[in-house]
Amino acid sequence: MISNLGQKSKQRKSLWQKKFSQPIKTLKDLIDFFGYELINHSPFQFLITEEYQKIFQEVHQKFRFQVTQYYLSLANIKNPRCPILLQILPDKKEIQDPFFKDPDPLREEENSPIYGLIHRYPDRVLWYVSHHCAVYCRFCFRKRKVSHRNSNFFSKTYNDIIHYIRSNPYIKEVILSGGDPLSLPDKTLEKTISDLKSIPHLFSIRIHTRMITTFPYRITKELCKIFAKHYPVTVITHFNHPVELTDIVYQKIQMLKFSGVIVLNQTVLLKNINDSLEIIEKLNLKLLRFGIIPYYLHLSDEVAGTYHFRTSLQKGLEIIRQLQGRNPGISIPRFMVDLPNGGGKVPLQNSYLIQYENKNKQYSFLNYEMNPKRIFYIKEKEDESL
């Protein structure tokens, strides 16, 4: 165990830490934020009922409720399908899921050689460095442990994990995840990145964070200096809806980019929140304008308590199909599914290749229009040696 990690710092808190320490954590605070009257005349009137109070408490005990004032300020309480509120409000479906019963269908815990380190693919590991997030998203696929104090042994296992990565030359990439790695203090983050950068067989350090979406003030000059010092670092953001891309986010992304950070985004396809061509198209174009490359669009996982967020796989394929050929290629993310039972991630694609004719040595294709009346052909190369 190393001494200065994961322990409460006696130093003065930085400005972002002070702001982070004032999130909204109770139903009363939430109601106070909007005001009783406004809620009473809104589609979210249920928030002020006794019945919901009970549901809130019950759900909150299993997976905490928390939201930043910043993120809540993006909400529109008059919109019954407000994408911000639908992502953060506890719902009884979380504890009465009719279909998904498994809290860990991706078998992360079974693939952990050391608690907190997931080693599923030979070439990379994912390190659960924090159980904190600025906002707890109700669809979180790691809700079995995120937000739970006793789920994180970062400081206790730190040396063992660094040793494990150093001793395994097949590992090319380390993903810092959680929870949110940017909830760690700068000093801890810097030490972690610096220790990882000293391992010669690592090619990539990735930080998965939703903090830029939910609490962009976390991106400070000091943090950017750390990233610049350890160039290159990749940051994977998590934006699900165009309303999350605000002016302040734009400024913070610029700061990251000027510090040499590679910025990519992953989105989760969420029922009634962003599962339409119009929203996904707008989101990805806006990401591009912000200097962020859309990387992954995920089908949400089969995690207990999240069925109501799940869209059909067909819908995801259809959205990707419609984006193809009508949008810049770099604005189209890969549609991914993480296979249950620990199968791992695979990209899903509409197949443009229809068939291969052995006789003519010829492939037949559809193009982006997917019109069966328009077939295109490619002859296979006759002699591979030429």
84 binds ligand SF4 (CB under 6 A): no
Out of 6, 83, 179, 185, the residue judged to bind ligand SF4 by CB under 6 A: 179
Contact with ligand SF4 (CB under 6 A): which of 116, 178, 294, 305?
178
Q: Report residue 19 as tokens.
A: 């702001």
Give the count of residues interacting with ligand SF4 (CB under 6 A). 10
Q: Running DSSP on this structure, what letter comes out for residue 372?
A: T
Query: Is 70 considered catalytic here?
Result: no
Instruction: Rule CB under 6 A: choose which of 20, 52, 128, 136 binds ligand SF4.
Output: 136
CA dist 299 and 301 (Å) reads 6
Burial of 308 (0-12, 13-18, 19+ CB in 10 A): buried
Interface with ligand SF4 by CB under 6 A: which range of 90-98, 133-141, 186-194, 228-236?
A: 133-141
152 φψ region: left (φ > 0), alpha (ψ -120 to 50), beta (else) = beta
Of 137, 253, 263, 299, which lies in the binding site for ligand SF4, with binding defined by CB under 6 A?
137
Nearby residues of 357 by Cβ (< 8 Å), 6 or more positions away: 363, 364
Both structure tokens of 2? 């190393």
Catalytic residue among 282, 315, 334, 345: 345
Q: What's the closest the beta carbon of residue 152 comes to ligand SF4, in angstroms?
A: 12
Q: Which pairing describes strands 204-208 and 334-339: parallel, antiparallel, or unpaired?
A: unpaired
Candidates 40-48, 176-184, 315-323, 354-362; binding stretch for ligand SF4 (CB under 6 A): 176-184
263/151 Cα distance (integer angstroms): 28
120 is a catalytic site residue: yes
* Tokens 């200097």, located at residue: 291
| Minimum CB distance to ligand SF4 smaller for 6 or for 181 | 181
Assign 308 to helix, strand or coil: helix
Query: Beta-carbon neighbour count of residue 37 at 10 Å?
Result: 8
Length of the chain measured in residues? 386
Among 133, 161, 245, 304, binds ligand SF4 (CB under 6 A): 133
Beta pairing class for 117-118 and 124-130: antiparallel
Residue 42 vs 300, nearer CB to ligand SF4: 300
Q: How far is the CB of 351 from ligand SF4 (least distance, A)?
A: 31
Query: Residues 73, 249: contact at Cβ < 8 Å?
Result: no
CB 237 within 8 A of CB 181: no
Give the residue with the Cβ less far from ligand SF4, 137 or 263: 137
82 given a catalytic annotation? no
Which of 142, 145, 218, 286 binds ligand SF4 (CB under 6 A)? It is: 142
Tell me whether residue 326 is one of the annotated catalytic residues: no
Q: Which is nearer to ligand SF4, 91 or 260 (CB)?
A: 91
Asked whether 294 and 333 are in contact (CB, 8 A), the reply is: yes
Exactly one of 140, 145, 218, 321 is catalytic; which is it? Answer: 140
User: Shortest Cβ distance from residue 303 to ligand SF4 (Å)?
Assistant: 10
316 upstream amide cis, omega within 30 of 0: no
Letters for 144-163 (x = contact with ligand SF4 by CB under 6 A, - = none) are --x-----------------
CA distance linking residue 218 with residue 53, whole number of Å: 31
Among 140-148, 184-192, 280-288, 319-327, the segment contacting ligand SF4 (CB under 6 A): 140-148
137 classed as catalytic: yes
* Active-site annotation holds for 140: yes
Residue 345 designated active-site: yes
The 344-348 sheet, strands edge to edge: 117-118, 124-130, 173-178, 204-208, 234-237, 262-269, 293-299, 334-339, 344-348
Residue 236, interface with ligand SF4 (CB under 6 A)? no
Binding positions for ligand SF4, 193-212, rule CB under 6 A: 210
Query: What amino acid positions are annotated as catalytic residues?
Result: 120-121, 124, 133, 137, 140, 142, 301, 338, 345
Footprint of ligand SF4 (CB under 6 A): 133, 136-137, 140, 142, 146, 178-180, 210
